[in-house]
């Protein structure tokens, strides 16, 4: 679901746009499934995903990078912090 490399955490995300609410839905295979209210139109879901993850993990939006902008499978790149790792491990069941 995530890997640590060069001082950053790479989080595999399975985005589900057009959901009833923004929420972390849990583990989905090797990814973290995140439901997003915004539609996948003109980057709206990506913007809301970054905003939501920033809020959930207490990361400034400016410190979150995204790969896979046009795919439901994405990778979010965030700064390495122990509290983020702990929360990801809790979600992952470790």
**Whole-model pTM?**
0.92
**Neighbouring residues of 86: CB distance < 8 A, sequence distance ≥ 6:** none
d(CA 82, CA 42): 33
Query: Which pLDDT band holds residue 94 (cuts at 50, 70, 90)?
Result: low
- 2-92: CATH, from 1.10.10.10, 3.40.50.2000, 3.30.1200.10, 3.90.1720.10: 3.30.1200.10
Query: Which pLDDT band holds residue 52 (cuts at 50, 70, 90)?
Result: very high
Assess whether pLDDT exceeds 70 at residue 84: yes
Q: Hey, where are the domains in the chain?
A: 2-92
Q: Mean pLDDT over residues 55-69, rounded?
A: 96
d(CA 87, CA 83): 6
Q: Mean pLDDT over residues 17-46, rounded?
A: 96
């Amino acid at each position: 679901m995530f890997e640590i490399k060069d001082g950053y955490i790479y989080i595999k995300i399975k985005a589900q746009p057009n959901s009833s609410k923004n929420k972390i839905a849990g583990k989905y295979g090797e990814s973290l499934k995140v439901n997003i209210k915004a539609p996948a139109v003109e980057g709206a879901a990506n913007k809301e995903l970054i905003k939501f993850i920033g809020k959930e993990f207490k990361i400034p939006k400016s410190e979150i990078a995204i790969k896979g902008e046009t795919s439901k499978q994405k990778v979010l790149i965030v700064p390495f912090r122990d509290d983020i790792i702990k929360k990801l491990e809790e979600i992952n069941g470790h």
